[in-house]
């Protein structure tokens, strides 16, 4: 029997209707809008000003702390402004606006298609190149990759897992990367292995992507890299979650509030492995990524290679435009994605998909009363009790929510998907989780301040 994680999960329809669409390079727009807050941690600090000329791949913002990342210009042109601008949710974020003028690249970037397979020997030098390249996790969390590759004292990585599950319905960008850039992904995995001290590496792919499993296995054999294997996993959502993937591959469970390194694991997405290859072997920073444009209402299905900072409206225009009638545009997939409130917002490093859905495809039934069926608890891959969290949310009991580990919720939506009463469990838990995390952070800050006196 194929491996999978041990508790919870659901089986939504794949809907991978864009799986056969080869990656197309999207033309550069007339203007890009590059946010300095597109990674977990402190926002980057702009180092350019209006009127400055920049080249593709040039640093435009430097890390604002240890958990932060460099931001590079994805185009060449003139900086028009450095000012707050509305993101896809309508929230204001400091943004560098660049008017595109040609496509002149910074020095030292190898743009050839030649595959470079020689792995650098120095782990510290590898991590530094990754840091300078502004590489972040492209599986959704956008955690700075160089931080993940630097475990705290006393922590030891025993296995690197490359996440090729792409369990979210509709999304196919990782699948296409595996098929079309499989060699670079495997070399990227070998580089990450070296950075972690030569640990074993598993490239995990769900069984509904047999072409990718076969191709990556052939690439590993052809390149003759030792210590790297491909593993076929049973299809199950949300297997792409770090803790669920570690459970499936290593049969180890990450405890409440703990990090993957606590059980000896480091997880990186296939897109991240490709970006690591580009940064270390080619000197190319993270300035573009593959984005799926899909949905039953989409004029055409596509997987686009898109420069970071490209307006969403420009991408949709190149994909055939928005069809007439009521429509919801979602950034990400139907389970964990967020509705787009501002189509003039721009892509981030971690943008994975634009999903077009009609109201009838997203309409929920009328909310009923909880019948204590326990389906939400059975479906929760984190072992939480969503029905109880819902009661505590309605009672405003933040202490009770923290005691029942609402902070461990990964916002996968399994509870909402499985609820026969159509209770908006995810929505309520997501909002309350933010409040609880705010309380936890404030308490930690107060304790730190008291300790420093």
pLDDT, tens digit (0-9, with 9 covering 90-100), for 161-192: 999 999 999 999 999 999 999 999 999 999 99
Residues 350 and 407 in one domain: no
Q: Is residue 92 part of a domain?
A: no
Sheet holding 92-100, edge to edge: 31-35, 92-100, 77-86, 53-54
pTM given for the model: 0.95
Residue 410: its pLDDT value, please?
95
Where among 336, 363, 390 does a domain terminate? 363
Question: Is residue 1's pLDDT more than 80?
Answer: no
Q: What pLDDT, in 10s, does the model give residues 326-355?
A: 889 999 999 999 999 999 999 999 999 999
Question: Is residue 444's pLDDT more than 90?
Answer: no
Q: Is residue 243 part of a domain?
A: yes
Residues 424 and 358 in one domain: no
CA-to-CA separations, 315 to 99, 138, 228, 246, 357, in angstroms, rounded = 17, 19, 36, 35, 16
- Residues 155, 258: Cα–Cα separation, whole Å: 12
Residue 289: its pLDDT value, please?
96
Residues 383 and 289 in one domain: no
Q: Is residue 291 part of a domain?
A: yes
Residues 336 and 380 in one domain: no
Model confidence at 81, in pLDDT bands (50, 70, 90)? very high
CA-to-CA separations, 295 to 8, 88, 89, in angstroms, rounded = 27, 19, 20
Residues 150 and 205 in one domain: yes
Residues 333 and 387 in one domain: no
Burial profile 158-190: b = 16 or more Cβ within 10 angstroms, e = fewer: ebbbbbbbbbbbbbbbbbbbbbbbbbbbbbbbb
Helix (H) or strand (E) holding 203: strand 201-206
Where among 332, 363, 394 does a domain terminate? 363
Residues 117-125 have a mean pLDDT of 96
CA torsion sign for 422, 428, 430, 436 is: negative
Residues 396-419 have a mean pLDDT of 96
Give the Cβ contact number of residue 218 at 10 Å.
12
Residues 119 and 232 in one domain: yes
Residue 308: its pLDDT value, please?
98
Task: Report the CATH number that the domain containing residue 237 is assigned in CATH.
Answer: 3.40.50.11540
CA torsion sign for 185, 166, 136, 248 is: negative
Residue 115: its pLDDT value, please?
97
139, burial (CB in 10 Å: exposed 0-12, middle 13-18, buried 19+): buried
Q: Treating both helix axes as pointing N-terminal to C-terminal, what angle do 182-195 and 210-223 enclose, rounded to 10 degrees? A: 60
3-state helix, strand, coil split of the chain in percent (to 5) is 30, 20, 50
As a whole number of angstroms, the longest Cα–Cα distance in the chain is 64
Question: Is residue 154's pLDDT more than 90?
Answer: no
Residues 126 and 178 in one domain: yes
Q: What percent of the chain has pLDDT over 90?
A: 89
Residue 447: its pLDDT value, please?
86
447, burial (CB in 10 Å: exposed 0-12, middle 13-18, buried 19+): exposed
Q: Treating both helix axes as pointing N-terminal to C-terminal, what angle do 425-452 and 386-395 enclose, rounded to 10 degrees? A: 70
Terminal Cα distance for the chain, rounded:
58
More confidently predicted of 140 and 259:
259
Q: What pLDDT, in 10s, does the model give residues 211-236?
A: 999 999 999 999 999 999 999 999 99
Residue 250: its pLDDT value, please?
97
Overall domain count for the chain = 2
Q: What percent of the chain has pLDDT over 70?
A: 100
- Residues 171, 208: Cα–Cα separation, whole Å: 13
DSSP line for 15-29: --TTTT--EEEPPP-
Beta carbons within 8 Å of 253's beta carbon, 6+ residues apart: 6, 243, 246, 247, 263
Model confidence at 34, in pLDDT bands (50, 70, 90)? very high
Q: Is residue 63 part of a domain?
A: no
* Residues 95 and 37 sit within 8 Å (Cβ to Cβ): no
Residues 245 and 393 in one domain: no
Q: What pLDDT, in 10s, does the model give residues 226-274?
A: 999 999 999 999 999 999 999 999 999 999 889 999 999 999 999 999 9
Beta carbons within 8 Å of 449's beta carbon, 6+ residues apart: none
Residues 176 and 288 in one domain: yes
Mean model confidence pLDDT for the chain: 95
CA-to-CA separations, 234 to 71, 186, 239, 240, 247, in angstroms, rounded = 37, 22, 9, 12, 13
Residue 451: its pLDDT value, please?
85
Residue 37: its pLDDT value, please?
94
DSSP line for 258-275: --GGGGTEEEEEHHHHHH
Question: Is residue 2's pLDDT more than 90?
Answer: no
Could you tell me the residue range of the domain that residue 186 belongs to? 1-26+106-363
Residues 28-52 have a mean pLDDT of 96
User: Count of alpha carbons within 13 Å of 115, Cβ hemisphere only?
Assistant: 14
Question: Is residue 301's pLDDT more than 90?
Answer: yes
- Residues 70, 43: Cα–Cα separation, whole Å: 9
- Residues 190, 201: Cα–Cα separation, whole Å: 8
Q: What pLDDT, in 10s, does the model give residues 275-300?
A: 999 999 999 999 999 999 999 989 99
Q: Is residue 38 part of a domain?
A: no
Where among 363, 383, 418 does a domain terminate? 363
Residue with tokens 């999903």: 355
Residue 445: its pLDDT value, please?
87
Residues 380 and 357 in one domain: no
Torsion of CA 107, 113, 114, 120, to 10 degrees: 60
Residues 195-211 have a mean pLDDT of 97
Residues 394 and 358 in one domain: no
Q: Is residue 358 part of a domain?
A: yes
């Amino acid at each position: 029997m194929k491996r999978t994680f041990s508790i919870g999960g659901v089986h939504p329809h794949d809907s991978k209707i864009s799986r056969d669409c080869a990656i197309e390079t999207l033309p550069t727009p007339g203007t890009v809008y590059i946010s300095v807050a597109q990674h977990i941690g402190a926002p980057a600090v702009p180092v350019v000003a209006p009127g400055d000329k920049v080249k593709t791949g040039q640093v435009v913002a430097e890390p604002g702390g240890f958990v932060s990342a460099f931001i590079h210009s994805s185009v060449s042109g003139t900086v028009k402004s450095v000012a707050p601008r509305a993101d896809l949710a309508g929230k204001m974020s400091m943004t560098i606006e660049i008017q595109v003028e040609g496509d002149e690249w910074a020095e030292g970037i190898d743009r050839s298609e030649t595959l470079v397979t020689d792995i650098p020997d120095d782990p510290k030098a590898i991590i530094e190149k990754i840091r300078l390249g502004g590489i972040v996790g492209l599986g959704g969390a956008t955690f700075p990759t160089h931080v993940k590759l630097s475990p705290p004292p006393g922590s030891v990585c025993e296995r690197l897992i490359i996440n090729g599950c792409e369990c979210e319905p509709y999304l196919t960008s990782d699948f296409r990367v595996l098929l079309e850039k499989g060699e670079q992904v495997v070399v990227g995995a070998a580089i990450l292995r070296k950075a972690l001290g030569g640990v074993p590496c598993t490239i995990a792919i769900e069984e509904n992507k047999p072409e990718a499993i076969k191709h990556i296995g052939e690439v590993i054999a052809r390149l003759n890299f030792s210590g790297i294997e491909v593993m076929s996993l049973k299809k199950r959502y949300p297997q792409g979650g770090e803790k669920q993937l570690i459970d499936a591959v290593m049969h180890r469970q990450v405890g409440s509030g703990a990090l993957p390194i606590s059980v000896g694991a480091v997880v990186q997405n296939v897109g991240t492995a490709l970006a690591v290859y580009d940064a270390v072997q080619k000197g190319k920073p993270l300035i573009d990524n593959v984005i799926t444009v899909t949905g039953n209402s989409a004029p055409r299905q596509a997987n686009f290679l898109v420069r970071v900072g490209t307006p969403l409206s420009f991408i949709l225009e190149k994909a055939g435009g928005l069809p007439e009638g009521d429509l919801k545009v979602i950034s990400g997939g139907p389970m964990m994605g967020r509705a787009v409130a501002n189509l003039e917002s721009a892509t981030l490093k971690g943008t994975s998909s634009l999903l077009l859905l009609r109201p009838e495809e997203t309409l929920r039934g009328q909310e009923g009363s909880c019948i204590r069926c326990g389906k939400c608890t059975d479906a929760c891959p984190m072992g939480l009790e969503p029905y109880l969290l819902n009661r505590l949310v309605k009672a405003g009991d933040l202490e009770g929510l923290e005691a029942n580990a609402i902070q461990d919720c990964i916002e996968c939506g399994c509870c909402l998907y499985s609820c026969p009463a159509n209770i908006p469990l995810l929505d309520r838990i997501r909002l309350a989780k933010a409040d609880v995390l705010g309380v936890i952070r404030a308490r930690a800050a107060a304790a730190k301040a008291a300790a420093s006196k």
